Amino acid sequence: MSSQRGNVARTRPQRHQNAEVFRNDKHDTSTQRKKINAKLHEGLCQHCKEVLEWRVKFNKYKPLTKPKKCVKCLQKTVKDSYHIICKPCACELDLCAKCGKREEIVIPIQTSPMKTENQLAKNYQQRKSTRDNLGDGDELNLGGLEDEDGLDLLIQGIKDLKPERTEVQ
Ligand SMILES: [Zn+2]
Ligand SMILES: [Zn+2]
């Protein structure tokens, strides 16, 4: 009797046929696709970076059309999809820009000191001038979170398909 895996008749069809390596730029050679593919996921923890990389790879990454509101400084300074914290805040508070947790950041945010200072000063002034105008019920930047479960399932499905060689003699 063999304990080798793979002989068991599957009761469900394979969810993803990956006979060849999946390439999201095979039919889509637009500059936007290239831009998204080349995107550097900085200021994120390992988990969030992986999630966004999967999104990019499987065409699930929707770029922002306009900046979203940062949950920390409450300014519309978030320029990356699925991020909830803007880069200056994530950098300053040492938090993951997507999940907002204090995790180890894989790619640190690159900001020149000058630019950061200017940005912070600008943010502060904006904050002062827009504080009175707040309260218009502007939605918090939680967009994209609700289909996270679906993505996790997708990732799990793909991980399941990885060939297991450990049991082969
Ligand atoms: Zn911020
Ligand atoms: Zn994170």
- Three-state secondary structure along 18-44? CCCCCCCCCCCCCHHHHHHHCCCCCCC
pTM score, whole prediction: 0.55
- Which position has the token pair 């979203």? 68
Ligand showing the shortest atom-to-Cα distance for residue 86: 1
pLDDT digits (tens, 9 = 90+) for 43-72: 999 999 999 999 999 999 999 999 999 999
- Report how far ligand 2's centroid is from the alpha carbon of 159 (Å): 20
Who has greater pLDDT, 113 or 103? 103
- Expressed in angstroms and rounded, the spacing between residue 66 Cα and the centre of ligand 1 is 15
CA of 101 to the centre of ligand 2 (A): 6
Reported as a pLDDT band with limits 50, 70 and 90, residue 27 is confident
Ligand 1 centroid to residue 56 C-alpha, Å: 24
Band of residue 5 on the pLDDT scale cut at 50, 70, 90 = low
144 — pLDDT class (breaks 50, 70, 90): very low
* CA dist., res. 68 & res. 40, Å (int): 19
Note the maximum CA span of the chain: 76
Residue bearing the bigger pLDDT, 113 or 21: 21
Closest ligand to Cα 96: 2
- Measured in angstroms, how far is the CA atom of residue 21 from the centroid of ligand 2? 27
